[in-house]
A = this chain, B = another copy of it.
């Protein structure tokens, strides 16, 4: 069930982003926005769509925050890949934006994608004003210096630190860097419905951490062709990861425990949340 829904949602989100981007002038920066938002698993967008289905929210409303979070995620990748950041030239199996265009265009593409994320999250078709204001405010908090950028800043500080990070520090870093947007995505359905996002937030926090541990495992065990990005870059830099801190088996065991925690958090929803539970199991089994 999960894989079919993930694929169907990905296609719908792609079509929606394409439609939105056709509303802008055809400039390199807009072509770069399209390039950066193509492909990927769209796990964050799926979490928005599935949590919306769980609350009986119309797809025509949910598609806006789903596209918003994918635009936000894409912006973070474009800037993260810049030479002055992680310096990656491959993403989703294709040249990164600054390689295909140039660094200045990549800065602008990321900037425009972040603005677009807010334009989509506050869009009139998301729902009433209370929902839109809530989506915009929580998205801003998840993306900013108390959320995703905090995680990136901690990551940057770790690069120049004398000692590798401790497990607690790596957990704090990842809670910001990948956790904040994943949590926003899973909570979006409850927010669209005006419901309590508590259980979905607990689910997402465990899921986000499991996702990052799986990423670290993939970085060691993965296949570049499947991953579509450079691998084993962390080990080469002597960077603390969940694998370096817990060992490969320890990391796998921790990820599996977190998936159990994530699944249990959805107990209030009963059987109806089975697809989200499948999603949690998927993140630790994926090959890319």
What residues make up the interface of A, taking CB atoms closer than 8 Å to B?
A: 23-25, 27-30, 33, 75, 79, 82, 84-85, 102-105, 107-108, 110-112, 114-116, 118-119, 121-124, 128-130, 132-134, 136-137, 139-141, 143-150, 152-154, 156-157
Contact = CB atoms under 8 A, between A and B. Distances in A.
Copies of this protein in the assembly total 2
Dominant SS at the A interface? helix
A129 B140 contact: no
B112 A84 contact: no
Nearest to A120: B140
Given A23-B146, A111-B110, A150-B27, A141 B119 contact: yes
Given A82-B107, A118-B140, A122-B122, 13 more contacts: A24-B150, A25-B146, A29-B152, A33-B145, A75-B111, A79-B108, A84-B107, A114-B114, A115-B140, A118-B139, A122-B133, A122-B140, A136-B137
A90 to B, nearest CB: 19
A121 to B, nearest CB: 8
A103 B129 contact: no
